Amino acid sequence: MSRGSLNELPDGLPAGKLITPEDADRPALWVSDERLPDAGRHWLRLYDLRHETGLYPLLLDGMANDPSRPWHDGELWPEPVGAIDALDAGDVLEKKWNSVTEDSQAGPLSGPWPGLAPPGKTDVDADTVARRHAQGSDSSLLGLVPADRGADALTVVGWDGPCNHISTDKISAVIRTWEDRFGVRVISVGFDILRLSVAAPPTTIEHARQIAVEHHALCPDNIWQGVGDFEEYAKFLVGAESWWFWWD
């Protein structure tokens, strides 16, 4: 599959427009004009066409008190796929782990970086799980990004939601490995929220703890401003076919 062109959009799209970020010389995405009650249905069709079109579909939400941001306002900073290619996900996570745990004195959030978690095991097709989660999504904007895979779409479109903690190319590098290890697929993106489907989640608490380490390095707000406890967060991951991330 190769990246598609926003100059060649598939037929049957709802009303929408191409969005060119202020500092860019070309559109970064196509986005629907309005939130669609049947956005999931459109996503399913476009997802099945992605190998043909080279365009990856996203369900999009804006900022709560200013829904035009970031998608319609073009509050985006696109980067080439090469920015992701230059990164090693293990190195990215190790550095962020060291950063977020440097003030921890004891417990599971201290100590040296333990390395990447082993892959999950499942006979379930990752695309089947992605379709199920997208189909059940609430009303959303619909977006199309010229990217080969969901992980890359985040950087190519220039999403900047995690900017207070980590750059998006690093997010993409990690999600690439999650696509491979856990059958993750990118489903929806908000102003500072990301939702992924997961075909091969952990089935034991031991494996869940290993994955929770990666989540904590990537998005400490999930624990610090979420459940507030690493062990509880790990328990939540056991069997979970959807992972949510939110950056303050």
> Dihedrals φ, ψ of 118, to 5°?
-70, 160
Number of domains in the chain: 1
- CA dist 58 and 56 (Å) reads 7
Q: List the strands of the sheet with 141-145, edge to edge.
A: 16-19, 29-32, 141-145, 56-60, 184-189, 193-198, 242-246
Domain membership flag for residue 217: yes
Domain membership flag for residue 9: no
Domain membership flag for residue 1: no
Domain membership flag for residue 87: yes
Domain membership flag for residue 242: yes
pTM, rounded to two decimals: 0.94
Give the domain extent around 119. Answer: 16-246
The rounded Cα 62 to chain-centroid distance in angstroms is: 15
8 A C-beta contact, residue 55 and residue 144: yes
3-state secondary structure of 133: helix
Q: Which two tokens stand for residue 166?
A: 């980590």
pLDDT in tens, the chain (248 residues): 457 899 999 999 999 999 999 889 999 999 999 999 999 999 999 999 999 999 999 999 999 889 999 999 999 999 999 999 999 999 999 999 999 887 554 456 778 899 999 999 988 999 999 999 998 777 899 999 999 999 999 999 999 999 999 999 999 999 999 999 999 999 999 999 999 999 999 999 999 999 999 999 999 999 988 888 999 999 999 999 999 999 98
Domain membership flag for residue 54: yes
Domain membership flag for residue 238: yes
8 A C-beta contact, residue 96 and residue 216: no
Domain membership flag for residue 5: no
